[in-house]
Amino acid sequence: MGLIRRNPAFTPLLLLAPGLLWLAAFYVAPNVQMFASSFWNGTLEGGFSFSLANWTNYPDALIKYQEQYLRSIEYGFVATLLCFAIAFPLAYFIAFKGGRARNVLLFLVVAPFFTSYLLRTIGWRTILGDDSIILGPLKALGVVAPEARILDTPFAVIAGIAYNFIPFMILPIYVSLEKIDRRLLEAAQDLYASGWGSFRRITLPLAIPGVFAGSLLTFIPAIGDFINAELLGNPGTTMIGNVIQRQFLVVRDYPTAAALSFMLMILILAGVALYARLLGTEELTSTAI
């Protein structure tokens, strides 16, 4: 205490200390370790050795798994768009028309999160099954072919990702919509703006921070996800997360796994930087979260 009283400059440092220590122990240290192991060479049984000459781990892994990287970006991107298409109208409805039911509606958005991620995903195996409540009747009516299926297709994987991450899109958009000063909309009306006009000129621009935060919160976990591809996909829908998981735990080729993880991280950071530039960096700091 004496220290703070004598030198108030220490106060922010002390307040930051727990967070910095946390970052150092659980973010910086593992990443340094992982970065080092991406320059290893060898096997688990024979031991690994570090050498900068092993930088070739990166291009080797990138070439071998380029298809999985591209697929992850594609699935992540489509799932994020899907989330946005569903989340924006829903968040708009809750924010502007929700009235007293608002809190209940928001609760319903997060309610599925009370169940385990795995269980929710496996639940879709029942819902989307070949003779399920969705496909069964359609097949009986002859609307779809008897051999048609949704489960274990790219569609199921993307739908699963979108389903699992949609609350991360809804909540930030809701917050930014909810913050909008309603007097602005009234003023627009007074000045004879059409409904669409005021939406386009007022609501949408003010919702951008929420859309920005939401799409990042959806896209980043989506691109690294492996559970949906594992449970709802087929041998042709493997994502980079599946490869990293298998390389780390089954094949135990730690150097390749580490290189793959690092490239994924760089890919995401580069994507985020580009996106931030497009939408304006000051929006990043004033996001709704």
Partner 1 sequence: MTEQTNPKVNATNGGAIDRRTVLKLGAVAGTAAFLAACGTSGGSTEPSASGGDTTPSATLNWANWTYYLDVDDGVDTATAETSESLRRFKKEYGTTVNYREDLLDNDEFFGTIKAPLEAGQDTGWDLVTPTTWMAKKIIDLGWAEKLDKSHMPNFVANLADEFRGRAADPSNDYLAPWQSIMTGLGVNTKKTKRFTKVSGLWDPALKGKISLLTELRDTTGLVMLGNGADPSNPTRATFDAAIATLQTAIDSGQVRKITGNGYTELLINDAALAAIAWSGDVGIIQADKPELEFIVPDEGGMYATDNLLIPKGAQHKYTAELWVDFYYRPEIAAIVEAYVNYICPVKGVSEAIAKIDPALATNPLIFPSEETKKRLRVWGSVSAEDQAYFDDRFSAIVEGVSA
| Residue ranges binding partner 1 (CB under 8 A) | 43-45, 64-65, 67-68, 116, 118-119, 122, 125, 129-131, 147, 149, 151-152, 227, 230-231, 234-238, 242-243, 246-247, 249-252
| Tokens at 87, concatenated | 């989340």
DSSP 113-172: GGS-HHHHHHHHHHHTSTTSTTHHHHHHTTSS-TT---TTSHHHHHHHHHHHHHHHHHHH
- What is the Cα–Cα distance from 76 to 215, expressed in whole angstroms? 10
The residue (of 216 and 230) whose beta carbon lies closer to partner 1 is 230
CB 29 → partner 1: shortest distance, Å? 17
78 is written with which tokens? 């489509």
The CB-of-141 to partner 1 minimum distance in angstroms stands at 19
CB of 103: closest distance to partner 1 in angstroms?
A: 32
Phi and psi at 133, nearest 5°, equal -65, -20
Closest CA to 245 of 232, 226, 264: 226
Measured from the CB atom, the residue of 127 and 269 that comes closer to partner 1 is 127
Q: Which is nearer to partner 1, 63 or 141 (CB)?
A: 63
Give the shortest CB-125-to-partner 1 separation in angstroms.
7
Q: Shortest CA distance to 229 belongs to which of 135, 147, 155?
A: 155
Q: Which residues contact 226 (CB under 8 A, 6 or more apart)?
A: 239, 241, 242, 244, 245
Shortest Cβ 106–partner 1 spacing (Å):
28
Min dist CB 252 to partner 1, Å, is 6
- CB 226 to partner 1: min, Å: 11
Residue number with CB closer to partner 1 (123 or 205): 123
Tokens of 215: 């799409």
**Of 43 and 189, which has the nearer Cβ to partner 1?**
43
Dist. CA 268–CA 188, nearest whole Å: 39
Q: Which CB atom, from 111 or from 122, has the smaller least distance to partner 1?
A: 122
The secondary structure of residue 180, as a DSSP letter, is S
CA distance 131 to 257: 38
- The H or E element that residue 109 is part of is helix 102-110
Reading the block at residue 43, the tokens are: 């096997």
Of 207 and 240, which CB lies nearer to partner 1 in the complex structure?
240
